Amino acid sequence: MKSIPQFWDDTIVPTLVDYIRIPAKSPHFDKDWAKNGHIEAAVTLAADWCRKHPVEGMQLEIVRLPKRTPVLFIEVPATKGAEKCGTVLLYGHLDKQPEMTGWAEGTGPWIPVIKDGKLYGRGGADDGYAVFASIAALKVLQQEKKPHARTVILIECCEESGSVDLPAYLEALAPRVGAPALVVGLDSGCGNYEQLWGTRSLRGRAGVESLTRFSPHHEVCMAGSTLEKVRSEALRLTQAERAELAHSLVGSLDGPADTDAESAWDEEILRRLGEIDAGTAELIDREELRRRMKARMSRA
Ligand SMILES: [Zn+2]
């Protein structure tokens, strides 16, 4: 591998071009997905690419539970000396949203078009790139002899249908995943191409639940036991596990997601982006923000 941009252009973009041609609509938009075989074609394309560009120690499997969309499951061991760093879980999906309308002349959901260095078509960014980006990241670390933790890549095929198949896979694969120290969801959006964007919460609602699902003690929450039994079992957990449990319990008291709040957040994000574009917003760097926050807190 020469460099990430080179590797991306030489091997990933051509594969994403092939992937865009596959109408791998999520089961919610293609009731006959199993018969039509497009999801199968997408997951096979991704798996074949990974086998062709393996990272050190990689183990790959397409996991299939009956009557559910498949999951691409990849395990990569920690590099020497990083065995105690825990497990990093990288998440993505290969199912797509439906065709929809409004495509520009010459473009379309299943027609890959590269224009001004950008690849257009359904699913390239949401979320086909995830597995390729994950492998490329590990590859460059290994090439530069930089250490990395044990990494598990989990690519589902049901995300655009509300991930209804995912819990069953999380349950089935929990012993193989272990308790991840970090979960990275490669499935967010970005407001421009000038900077790196990260999502730290899901529209203001913490996403810690996905971490707790893998807890080896998660059966505590699933048993439907009486309060006393659950409480005494919970108190036997380690301090870190109790903290994690407390966090998810508090989160569960929030009630269902407030769609009004979500769209208000979307509007607010667009408004702030508009201010940045118009040059009317004052941008400050992170260190300065921390300094100002500390100053304000010490005043309070
Ligand atoms: Zn997505």
* pLDDT tens sequence across 4-56: 999 999 999 999 999 999 999 999 999 999 999 999 999 999 999 999 999 99
Q: Is the dihedral of CA 150, 210, 165, 229 positive or negative?
A: positive
Distance 32 CA to ligand 1 centre (A): 21
In sequence order, which ranges of the chain are alpha helices (DSSP H)? Answer: 4-7, 13-21, 33-36, 38-52, 129-143, 166-177, 209-212, 219-222, 227-234, 239-252, 259-278, 286-299
Write the CB contacts of 51 (distance below 8 Å, at least 6 apart in sequence).
Answer: 60
What value does the mean pLDDT take over residues 256-284? 84
Distance 154 CA to ligand 1 centre (A): 13
**Model confidence at 216: pLDDT above 50:** no
pLDDT band for 147, please (50, 70, 90 cuts): very high
Distance 108 CA to ligand 1 centre (A): 18
Distance 188 CA to ligand 1 centre (A): 7
Average predicted confidence (pLDDT) for the chain:
87
**Model confidence at 163: pLDDT above 60:** yes
Looking at the DSSP assignment, which residues form a beta bridge with residue 91? 154, 185
Least confident of 137-151, 155-169, 194-208, 254-268: 194-208
**Residue 279 phi, psi (nearest 5):** 75, 15
pLDDT band for 64, please (50, 70, 90 cuts): very high
What pLDDT score does 50 carry? Answer: 98
What pLDDT score does 223 carry? Answer: 36
Taking each helix axis from N to C end, the angle separating 38-52 and 13-21, rounded to the nearest 10 degrees, works out to 170
pLDDT band for 169, please (50, 70, 90 cuts): very high
Distance 56 CA to ligand 1 centre (A): 28
**Model confidence at 296: pLDDT above 90:** no
What pLDDT score does 213 carry? Answer: 36
What pLDDT score does 221 carry? Answer: 29
**Model confidence at 113: pLDDT above 60:** yes
**219-263 pLDDT tens trace:** 332 334 467 778 878 888 888 888 888 888 887 777 666 778 878
Distance 159 CA to ligand 1 centre (A): 6
- Percent of the chain scoring above 70 in pLDDT: 89
